[in-house]
Amino acid sequence: MPTAASEQRVHEPAVAPHAHPAGDDAAPASHGHSHADADGPFLFTARGEVISAATAGVLLLLGWFGSVAANVPGTRWLIWVSLGIGLIHGAKAAWESIRKFTFDIDCLMVVGALLAAYLNAPAEGALLLFLFVLAGGLEGLAMARTRRAVEALHKLMPTATLRASGEDGSTEWIPVPPESLVPGDRIKIPPGEVIPVDAELLVGLSSVNQATLTGESMPRDVRPGDELYAGTLNVGNPIEARVLKPVSESSLQRIVNLVTEAQEQREPVQRVIDRFSEPYALSVLGISVLVWFVWWLGFGDPAGEAAYTAITLLIVMSPCAVIIATPTATLAGIARAARGGVLFKGGQAMERLSRLGALCLDKTGTLTMGRPDVQQVHPVGWSDGTQLLAVAAGLEQDSTHPIATAIVEEAKVRGVAFEAATRATFTPGRGVSGVFGAVHARLGTFEHTEELIPVCLRARAREVLGRVQARGQIGVIIAWNGQAAVIVMSDALRPGADEIAARLHELGVSPLVMLSGDKAGVVEQMAKSLGIDHFRSELLPQDKVTEVAALRAELRARRGYKGVGLIGDGVNDAPALAAADVSIAVGSIGSDAALESADIVMLGEDLRSIPWAVRLARRTRWTIVANLAFALGAIAVMAVVTLVGSRMDNRLPLWAGVLGHEGGTLLVVANSLLLLTVRPWMGRGQTMNDSSAVVASRNVRGE
């Protein structure tokens, strides 16, 4: 039987500590037009607003058709009911503004509708509020959709399977909410299940699909000792793991929190709009009153006609579309990027990336994986390379050095059986020694192994080692039982490293400068092979800061300066990341340092996500520009048409002004939502989109 503590966990409520509502009703903070309240009664949620607007629209249509088109007596009251439904929502939003001693668009819309009804035009007032409430509800649903694009990851979380100890010493596996897990707990993850928390793999070999976090479709092979991340999918064998962090501190939760914070930030243009929205609304009201007086007393129009013109002007000049032009596009862009494994820390980071003109790239850990991989075992003379690899793995079996890890992993990949050496000793700066049976073996530098290499093979071994090092690769010699071989290793390139320069050049990002602490020959060879414009070698961390600052100063002297970015691994490049106009950390799904130090975090390994992110940022910027241009242009054109038409006996109908104003708002929202349809970047090896983990999960479970 499980312990009392384990039984108690089963009954704990499964509530995510920092989760935000992810349903249709989860409307964002109001930007002046959307006034849905996710925490209030259903009537005032985003979905409730849409239902109310639909009801008001049907009543308005029936009332208009009955009283105007068909001239059916007693149907005009339907128009007034439609107006009343709209006023319920409009008055609530207007009252909330007045309570804060502000006068905004909600107040303008209510004033316009009431004045239209006062002038015996209730249909126009009802139409205004119908479209206004509908636009507000749709905006709330649109905002919620952008957040659900990230927060839906929580819905993937299954019940965790915990190993519990009974009072009699027996153990069994019991289901518990992921939120009840604590570090040190042991959990089991069957194939097709989503990993509930960050954990360390203890038992089993498997593959994990990380597409929900990184956007990459190729699964990652994992073995005991590897870290598993919450929200990723086990697509291989059953595994057991040890919990490293509670749900509230998992990689997934940090990502969700980061995106949520980013969505709450304002871009500079949006802060300006927010600052002037109330003065603008008061100005529109004042101008409308002035037009009424001038048209009535100055031009001699009847008071009712002058008021009709003033009300139409008030409606068409209301800046609903202007106010939502930036936040809807920004939130959609951030959400789309997050689904593709790219985290923007707010709209400002996206804006700066969209203006990227030049880029510095760290080498080790950024363009490369930051760890050596065995490329070849080169026998010297008549030696058996496979046998010598087994000896090398036996010598390095208990070592945590990166070279040792690479050799042991290569032996496992090749299926080479090996046993641990006896009397293994490590000599710093030279290598490792040990005994197999009664035969001594050494692995390391030429000087360390020379004594065990047959004299006739020493020159050849030195020659091969020299060629390897001249190519910028790592070479170590294994010598045993009269045999020798050079194990050739290199720091493998990240996926997409061979394409990133060409793709960024296509986007006009130039120059590209590689920064590295390695020797000049190695850095130069890599820069040339990758098509990178310039390189700087043998740099200390502080030297990278100097190089970034120098490039910024050089480019600032030119016309059309756009900004200098830096791509680093987010750990040892923090000073240089801070010196750049926009900083990007790559391959950092589990790196707290990257999440803290960089403006943008690429969670995957594939560098092709960087030019994709630049394209997305630029498209988001142009969407904002298009939204603002359309909104401001529509206001200007309709205001001129309203004023000029009224003086030329061709008055703009109030209903046309209402349709133009609210229709423009809906078009701005729709244009912003198109960002959510941007095609995913081409992941490593496949073209599966960023929802592949969800699809894979359903396939495995037979859904």
pLDDT, the chain, mean: 79
Rounded-to-integer distance, Cα 387 and Cα 598, Å: 46
> Is 215 within 8 Å of 610 (Cβ atoms)?
no
Sequence-separated (6 or more) residues with CB below 8 Å from residue 326? 267, 269, 270, 273, 347, 624, 627, 628
Asked if the bond preceding 511 is cis, omega within 30° of 0, the reply is: yes
How many Å apart are CA 337 and CA 354, to the nearest integer?
A: 13
| 139-178 confidence digits (pLDDT tens) | 676 666 555 555 554 555 567 888 887 666 677 888 888 8
Residue labelled with tokens 């997050």: 338
Per-residue pLDDT at 12: 36
Q: Which residue bears the tokens 């050049």?
A: 505
Average pLDDT over residues 40-68: 81
- Identify the bridge partners of residue 201 per DSSP, sorted by sequence position: 241
Neighbour-count burial for 49-59, b at 16+ CB within 10 Å, e otherwise: bbebbeebbeb
CA separation for the pair 181, 598 (Å, rounded): 30
- Which of the residue ranges 13-22, 39-48, 386-395, 565-574 would you say has the lowest mean pLDDT? 13-22
Closest Cα to residue 610, out of 506, 527, 538, 486? 506
Report residue 124 as tokens. 């126009």
User: 3-class DSSP state for residue 600?
Assistant: strand
In this structure, is the dihedral angle defined by the CA atoms of residues 601, 217, 238 and 202, taken in order, positive or negative?
Answer: negative
Is the separation of the CB atoms in 343 and 601 below 8 Å? yes
Residue 271 contacts residue 352 (beta carbons within 8 Å): no
Whose structure tokens read 């592949």?
A: 692
Question: What DSSP string describes 187-198?
Answer: EEE-TTPBP-S-
Q: What is the pLDDT of residue 29?
A: 38
Which span out of 248-252, 361-365, 373-377 was modeled with the highest average pLDDT?
373-377
- Block residue for tokens 């603008």: 280
Instruction: Give the Cβ contact number of residue 62 at 10 Å.
Output: 16
| Helix (H/G/I), strand (E/B), else coil: 333 | helix
The rounded distance, in Å, linking the Cα atoms of 367 and 495 is: 9
**In sequence order, what DSSP letters do the residues of 205-245 get, joined into one string?**
-EEEE-HHHH---S-EEE-TT-EE-TT-EE-SS-EEEEE-S
What are the tokens at 242? 């040890």
CB count within 10 Å of CB 622 equals: 12
Distance CA 248, CA 183 (A): 12
Instruction: Say if residue 46's pLDDT is above 90.
Output: no
pLDDT given at position 468: 86
643-681 core/surface letters (b: 16 or more CB in 10 A; e: else): beebeeeebbebbbbbebbbebbbebbebbbebbebebb
For residue 37, name the pLDDT band (cuts at 50, 70, 90).
low
pLDDT reading at 444 higher than 80: yes
State yes or no: pLDDT of 442 exceeds 90. Answer: yes
Structure tokens at 259: 């995106």
pTM of the model: 0.66
Fold matches, 342-356+495-602 and 370-493: no
- pLDDT for 271 beyond 80: no
Among the ranges 103-107, 119-123, 528-532, which has the highest mean pLDDT value? Answer: 528-532
Contacts 24+ apart (CB under 8 A), 578-587: 579/545, 579/548, 579/549, 579/552, 580/360, 580/548, 580/552, 581/352, 581/356, 581/552, 582/349, 582/352, 582/353, 582/356, 584/353, 584/610, 586/366, 586/494, 586/610, 587/365, 587/366, 587/369, 587/494
DSSP designation for 527: H
Instruction: Please give the distance of CA 587 from its chain centroid, rounded to a whole number.
Output: 13
Between CA 536 and CA 333 the distance in angstroms is: 34
pLDDT computed for residue 27 by the predictor: 37
- Report the C-alpha gap between 383 and 391 in whole angstroms: 12
Instruction: Supply the pLDDT for residue 294.
Output: 93
Quote the pLDDT of residue 152. Answer: 53
Closest CA to 95 of 153, 37, 135, 139: 37
pLDDT of residue 32: 45
Residue 621 has pLDDT above 70, yes or no: yes
Share of the chain above pLDDT 90, in %: 21
Q: Which of 614, 613, 581, 620 is nearest to 598 (CA)?
A: 581
Task: Write down the CATH superfamily of domain 342-356+495-602.
Answer: HAD superfamily/HAD-like (3.40.50.1000)
CB 459 within 8 Å of CB 386:
no
The whole-number pLDDT of residue 5 equals 39
- What's the rounded Cα separation, in Å, for the pair 503 and 492? 20
Most trustworthy range by pLDDT among 409-413, 569-573, 576-580: 409-413
Rounded distance between C-alpha atoms, residue 326 and residue 620, angstroms: 9
Task: Give the model's pLDDT for residue 623.
Answer: 94
Most trustworthy range by pLDDT among 322-336, 407-421, 582-596: 407-421
Neighbours of 201 (CB within 10 A): 22
Q: What is the CA radius of gyration of the chain?
A: 33
Provide the pLDDT for residue 689.
Answer: 40
pLDDT of residue 394: 92
Residue 24: band (very low, low, confident or very high) from pLDDT cuts 50, 70, 90: very low
Q: Which tokens belong to 126?
A: 């009802």
Q: Which helix (H) or strand (E) holds 514?
A: strand 512-515
429: left (phi over 0), alpha (psi -120 to 50) or beta: left
pLDDT at res. 216: 55
Structure token digits, residue 626:
């298009």
- Lowest mean per-residue pLDDT among 84-93, 102-111, 484-493: 102-111
Query: Which range among 382-396, 420-434, 577-591 shows the weakest confidence by mean pLDDT?
Result: 577-591
Residue 206 has pLDDT above 90, yes or no: no
Positive or negative: CA dihedral 371, 375, 379, 383: positive
Our answer to whether residue 569 is catalytic in this structure is no
* For the chain, domain boundaries: 342-356+495-602, 370-493
Q: Which amino acid is at 285?
A: L
Give the domain 370-493 fold: Calcium-transporting ATPase, cytoplasmic domain N (3.40.1110)
What Cα–Cα distance (Å) separates residue 588 from each residue in 214, 435, 584, 649? 9, 40, 10, 66
Structure tokens at 348: 């400002």
Sign of CA dihedral 675, 676, 679, 680: positive
Neighbours of 13 (CB within 10 A): 7
Percent of the chain with pLDDT over 70: 80
> What is the pLDDT averaged over residues 678-686?
61
Alpha-carbon gap, residue 414 to 609, rounded angstroms: 31
Residue 583's φ and ψ, nearest 5 degrees, are -115, 140
Nearest residue to 66 (alpha-carbon basis) of 124, 84, 58: 58
pLDDT of residue 607 exceeding 60, the answer is yes
How far is the C-alpha of 29 from the C-alpha of 36, rounded, in Å? 9
Looking at residue 144, its pLDDT comes to: 66
Count of residues for the chain? Answer: 703
Query: Which position among 24, 106, 198, 362 bears the catalytic label?
Result: 362
Mean pLDDT of 671-676: 90
- Res. 524: pLDDT tops 90: no
Single-letter residue type at 26? A
Q: What is the pLDDT of residues 291-341, one digit of tens each?
A: 999 999 888 889 888 888 988 888 888 777 787 788 888 888 888 888 888
